[in-house]
Chain A
Amino acid sequence: MQASTLEPSVVADPLAFSVSEVTGLRTLAIENVDGHRDAGQVATSMASLLGLPANTPYALRDDSSARMLVDDQPLGSQIPAEGTQLVVIPRSHLG
């Protein structure tokens, strides 16, 4: 019987990236983010730093690789330690 193996997950830490809101008018350079924090938690923090309303949930999109980040996985397992351009996407809709 063969034993299964798990790939060691690599979490980049700390992280440095740029982050902007969806219209692109405001961009922040961010440093020293704990790479073990979930992407969803970081999205909320980044929305706050960008001065966005707190009563809306947000997600992060990696503009460099054109993909949405998974909320409940460490940010450092989804992006490299530096150089990424993130966008805070409001999870809100017109009704």
Chain B
Amino acid sequence: MLTQASSRATRPAGAEPGWAPAVAVTSKRHGDDQALAYEWPTLSDLLPVRAETWLHGLREDSLGPDLGVHRMTFAPGEPEGSRLRNFAVQLDDGCRSYRRTFSVYSLSSVAQRARLRLTTEKVLRPDDEVLYYLPASVPGRADWDSALDGPIGGAAADGVQAHSCSPPLAIQEASLSSFLAASEPLVDGWAGPAFTAEQERRLYIPAFVFDDVWAQGLRCARHGDDLESAGMWAGRLLRDSQSGELFLVVDGCIGARHEAVEERYSVELSGETWSAVRGVLRQRRQRLGRPHEILLGSMHGHNFLPGVEEGNGSSCATCPKAAECTQTTARASALDIDWHHCVFSWGQPWAILGVWGFNVRGEDVWQLYGLADGTLLPRSIRVVSGPHLR
């Protein structure tokens, strides 16, 4: 069990070149105040917070559309005893900069790595409740990777020369109020919100999906029957012509069927699958006249009842509390989150992950996730009826 220590949103101090957040790990058995180990994040650990910072800088028109040119630095948050409440990620392109604050929860993968190491070294027992926090100071910093201080993605290695030939990110203007007027929150079958409306507004850009596309997503998630199956969302990233707010519109669903490896509790998209998905996306761009349509996320089905994973599914069927039980299989697993990060972590922080599962009564339940605090957390979406906004 891995438990985060306290964290509250506060304004961090100034950026400190060379400073980077570390994670201190301890356990309840060893006591809260005794750090068993310190672990520093790698570049991979920091890709989500970097992309999330860029999205919100882009959202406020404080950063440009090319993530690759931005330099990343960090700043410690407000101290609370021997700990920090949070830390800040700052991106700058030489002219403009933007900073966003993250809790220690955004570095849970770092804490998990330390936990595994300490368990292997038999410092921790497998059943220890592990605590992690941001220490205000750390003895020694030899492990810090200075490569994080520069732009990512264009560096040469072993004499290899690389330069970007990606087209610049295209964000078209549209009327957000038109989409709001033609839509309503999608609540039918929703596993439920995690945040208030105001919190959502600060965490996520607004998201819309057309009603027939949402139904198609459900079919994609379920087409494997009792095997997991998946698909990709395609659509547009737009900027409101009045307020400048970014928002996304899901216009299509592309089934990931071609040679996808579907099993009971997992689905892997093969090279053939990805080729087919990209082929359909190219066709959509040409036929629909939408050259800027991109992949906006994914959906897949957890096509099994709650309790089945743990081997007690049959007891759910006879449980007297089944009529009121709120357990569902519509929740993203650690594997789902890792998969999302390795597909979308380069510059697609708006990407969404949809999961269709079941409740104990066998009814369809869904949950949607977006990038927040460096990981995937539940978010809402609005459903658009009618074709006039396509």
Q: Interface on A for B, CB 8 Å cutoff?
A: 18, 20-34, 45, 48-56, 59, 61, 63, 66, 68, 87, 89-95
Which residues does chain A contribute within 8 Å of B163, judged by CB atoms? Answer: 28-29
CB within 8 Å of A: which B150-182 residues: 152-155, 157-166, 169
Which residues does chain B contribute within 8 Å of A22, judged by CB atoms? Answer: 269, 274, 277-278, 343
Closest 10 CB pairs between A and B?
A95-B335, A93-B268, A61-B271, A51-B153, A53-B44, A56-B342, A31-B161, A90-B342, A54-B44, A95-B266
Which residues does chain B contribute within 8 Å of A49, judged by CB atoms? Answer: 153-155, 157, 160, 162
CA gap between A23 and B228 in the complex, in Å: 21
Does B123 count as interface, using CB distance less than 8 angstroms?
no
Q: A28-B162, A28-B164 are in contact. Are A93 and B348 (CB under 8 A)?
A: no
Does B339 count as interface, using CB distance less than 8 angstroms?
yes
Does B250 count as interface, using CB distance less than 8 angstroms?
no
Q: Interface on B for A, CB 8 Å cutoff?
A: 42-44, 47, 68, 109, 152-155, 157-166, 169, 228, 230, 261, 265-272, 274-275, 277-278, 281, 294-295, 298, 300, 333-336, 338-339, 341-348
User: Are A87 and B271 closer than 8 Å at their CB atoms?
Assistant: yes
User: Are A94 and B335 closer than 8 Å at their CB atoms?
Assistant: yes
CA gap between A56 and B47 in the complex, in Å: 13
User: Are B274 and A55 closer than 8 Å at their CB atoms?
Assistant: no
User: Are A90 and B339 closer than 8 Å at their CB atoms?
Assistant: yes
User: Are A93 and B347 closer than 8 Å at their CB atoms?
Assistant: no
Closest to B261 in A: A93
Identify B230's interface contact among A32, A45, A68, A94, CB under 8 A: A94
Apart from the given pairs A55-B338, A59-B271, 19 other A-B contacts in the complex at a CB distance below 8 Å: A23-B294, A25-B294, A25-B346, A25-B348, A26-B347, A28-B153, A29-B162, A34-B159, A51-B153, A51-B345, A53-B44, A53-B345, A61-B271, A92-B338, A92-B339, A92-B342, A93-B261, A94-B335, A95-B336
Closest to A67 in B: B271
User: Are B281 and A24 closer than 8 Å at their CB atoms?
Assistant: yes
Closest to B278 in A: A24
Identify A32's interface contact among B160, B164, B271, B278, CB under 8 A: B160
Which residues does chain A contribute within 8 Å of B161, judged by CB atoms? Answer: 30-32
Which residues does chain B contribute within 8 Å of A21, judged by CB atoms? Answer: 343, 346
User: Are A31 and B166 closer than 8 Å at their CB atoms?
Assistant: no
User: Are B271 and A89 closer than 8 Å at their CB atoms?
Assistant: yes
User: Are A61 and B160 closer than 8 Å at their CB atoms?
Assistant: no
Closest to A57 in B: B342
Which residues does chain B contribute within 8 Å of A25, judged by CB atoms? Answer: 166, 169, 294-295, 346-348
Closest chain B CB from A59 CB (angstroms):
7
User: Are A29 and B165 closer than 8 Å at their CB atoms?
Assistant: yes
CA gap between A93 and B269 in the complex, in Å: 7
Which residues does chain B contribute within 8 Å of A20, judged by CB atoms? Answer: 166
Closest chain B CB from A78 CB (angstroms):
14
Closest chain B CB from A52 CB (angstroms):
6
Q: A32-B160, A49-B154 are in contact. Are A90 and B47 (CB under 8 A)?
A: no
21 A-B interface contacts by CB (under 8 A): A18-B165, A21-B346, A23-B294, A25-B294, A27-B165, A28-B153, A28-B166, A29-B163, A29-B165, A53-B342, A53-B345, A54-B44, A66-B272, A87-B271, A90-B343, A92-B268, A93-B269, A94-B267, A94-B268, A94-B339, A95-B334
Closest chain B CB from A20 CB (angstroms):
8
CA gap between A32 and B159 in the complex, in Å: 7
Q: A29-B165, A68-B271, A92-B342 are in contact. Are A23 and B336 (CB under 8 A)?
A: no
- Residue among B165, B169, B265 facing the most chain A CB atoms (10 A cut-off): B165
CA gap between A29 and B162 in the complex, in Å: 6
Which residues does chain A contribute within 8 Å of B274, judged by CB atoms? Answer: 22, 61, 87, 89
CA gap between A30 and B164 in the complex, in Å: 9
User: Are B153 and A50 closer than 8 Å at their CB atoms?
Assistant: yes
Closest chain A CB from B149 CB (angstroms):
15
Which residues does chain A contribute within 8 Å of B152, judged by CB atoms? Answer: 51
Which residues does chain A contribute within 8 Å of B164, judged by CB atoms? Answer: 26-29
Closest chain B CB from A25 CB (angstroms):
6
Closest to A51 in B: B153
User: Are A52 and B271 closer than 8 Å at their CB atoms?
Assistant: no
Which residues does chain A contribute within 8 Å of B281, judged by CB atoms? Answer: 24
Closest chain B CB from A19 CB (angstroms):
8
